[in-house]
């Protein structure tokens, strides 16, 4: 083979699409408020270390507006190639003990269930990949009643709603009557969602809906993205900030109670008729 042929062959190999395909699942991600490297690793089925390596980050601190390159492995995920079962969390359980019982990993359980931290609570339903560290899609999440149109929200009961709107997930709430919107984060709670407004501006909008703090509640629409899908759910929120928080510069002390259908009170463990009614209204049902 002469030198010209060898040179041409090398150039063809260098320009070959095979090289591009090796990194064809690298995408741009614009960092949003509430994002973290851990949450991005869950969303794109990658790892914190991989994101840091690709972007040459020296720490795991990121900020809103930052542009990151992320390896999107969702298209190559082993979601449906392994066996999976649902497991109801019991007192004393943790992700490590559950992973050992099913011969899987904490990371596989977290990513399969949109868990943004290692906290789980009794009664929570988890989908577990069995004898595998592959990521699977959640099993058996059902909707009670679809919205009548896009002005309303789909109705989910608490057990199913909390499997999609998970702790640390950021969403937007819209007051059904006034149309006022504000952003919140799911802070905690095992009977219903304890939510916190993200900023002082969000708290100011809540004050427009509840000029005086009150335990009375209103029908609202919750929108958020999980697993690459947009959800719009019928919920009910009380207007009384109380107890603990982990955002301290938003102009309010404590969190607010957000109910899904059949959510119960932390104090009494009972279903609230007023919240139930609000959720039916937010779903578009006539009273």
* Pair of tokens at residue 239: 């207007």
Strand 125-129 versus strand 170-175 pairing type? unpaired
How distant is the alpha carbon of residue 250 from its chain centre? 21
3-state secondary structure the chain: CCHHHHHHHHHHHHCCHHHHHHCCCEEEEECCCCCCHHHHHHHCCCCHHHHHHHHCCCCCCCCCCCEEEEECCHHHCCCCCCCEEEEECCCCCCHHHHHHHCCCCHHHHHHHCCCCCCCCCCCCEEEEECCCCCCCCCCCCCCCECCCCCCCCEECEHHHHHHHCCCCCEEEEEECCCCCEEEEEEEECCCCEEEEECCHHHHHHHHHHCCCCEEEEEEEEEEEEECCEEEEEEEEEEECCECCCCCCCCCCCCEEEEECECCECCCCCCECHHHHHHHHHHHCCCC
User: Which CATH class name applies to 23-74?
Assistant: alpha beta
Going by C-alpha positions, the residue among 251, 255, 259, 227 that lies closest to residue 242 is 255
CB atoms within 10 A of CB 192: 24
Identify the pLDDT of residue 74.
62
As a whole number of angstroms, the distance between CA 76 and CA 72 comes to 9
CB atoms within 10 A of CB 30: 10
Identify the pLDDT of residue 281.
98
Residue count of the chain, please give it.
287
Query: The whole model's pTM is what?
Result: 0.74
Identify the pLDDT of residue 14.
41
Domain ranges of the chain: 23-74, 84-129, 158-283
pLDDT per position in the chain (287 positions), as tens?
Answer: 554 444 444 344 444 433 333 445 788 888 988 888 888 888 787 888 889 889 999 988 898 889 998 887 764 444 457 899 999 999 999 999 999 999 999 999 999 999 988 889 999 999 999 999 999 999 999 999 999 999 999 999 999 999 999 999 999 999 999 999 999 999 999 899 999 999 999 999 999 999 999 999 999 999 999 998 999 999 999 999 999 999 999 999 999 999 999 999 988 889 999 999 999 999 999 85
Identify the pLDDT of residue 236.
98
As a whole number of angstroms, the distance between CA 114 and CA 224 comes to 13
CATH superfamily of 84-129: LysM domain (3.10.350.10)
> Do the first three CATH levels of 23-74 and 84-129 match, i.e. the same topology?
yes
Residues sharing a CB contact under 8 Å with residue 123, sequence separation 6 or more, in sequence order: 88, 89, 159, 190
Identify the pLDDT of residue 119.
86
CATH assignment, 158-283: 2.40.10
């Amino acid at each position: 083979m002469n030198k010209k042929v060898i040179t041409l062959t090398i150039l063809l190999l260098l320009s070959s699409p095979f090289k591009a395909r090796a990194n064809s699942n690298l995408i741009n991600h614009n960092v949003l408020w509430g994002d973290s490297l851990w949450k991005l690793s869950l969303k794109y089925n990658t790892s914190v270390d991989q994101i840091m390596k690709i972007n040459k980050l020296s720490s795991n601190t990121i900020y809103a507006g930052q542009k990151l390159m992320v390896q999107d492995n969702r298209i190559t995920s082993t979601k449906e190639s392994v066996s999976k079962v649902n497991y109801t969390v019991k007192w004393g359980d943790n992700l490590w003990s559950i992973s050992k019982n099913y011969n899987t990993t904490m990371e596989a359980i977290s990513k399969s269930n949109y868990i943004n931290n290692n906290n789980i609570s009794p009664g929570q339903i988890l989908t577990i990949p069995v004898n595998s560290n592959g990521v699977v899609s959640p099993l058996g999440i059902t909707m009670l009643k679809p919205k009548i149109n896009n002005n309303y929200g789909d109705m989910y009961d608490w057990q199913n709603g909390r499997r999609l709107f998970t702790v640390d997930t950021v969403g937007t709430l819209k007051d059904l009557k006034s149309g006022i919107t504000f952003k919140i984060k799911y802070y905690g709670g095992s009977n219903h969602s304890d939510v916190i407004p993200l900023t002082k501006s969000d708290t100011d909008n809540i004050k427009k809906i509840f000029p005086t703090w009150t335990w009375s509640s209103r029908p609202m629409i919750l929108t958020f993205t999980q697993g690459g899908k947009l959800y719009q759910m019928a919920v009910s929120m009380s207007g009384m900030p109380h107890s603990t928080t982990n955002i301290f510069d938003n102009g309010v002390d404590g969190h607010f109670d957000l109910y899904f259908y059949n959510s119960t009170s932390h104090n009494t463990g009972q279903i609230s008729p007023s919240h139930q009614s609000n959720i039916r209204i937010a779903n578009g049902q006539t009273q």
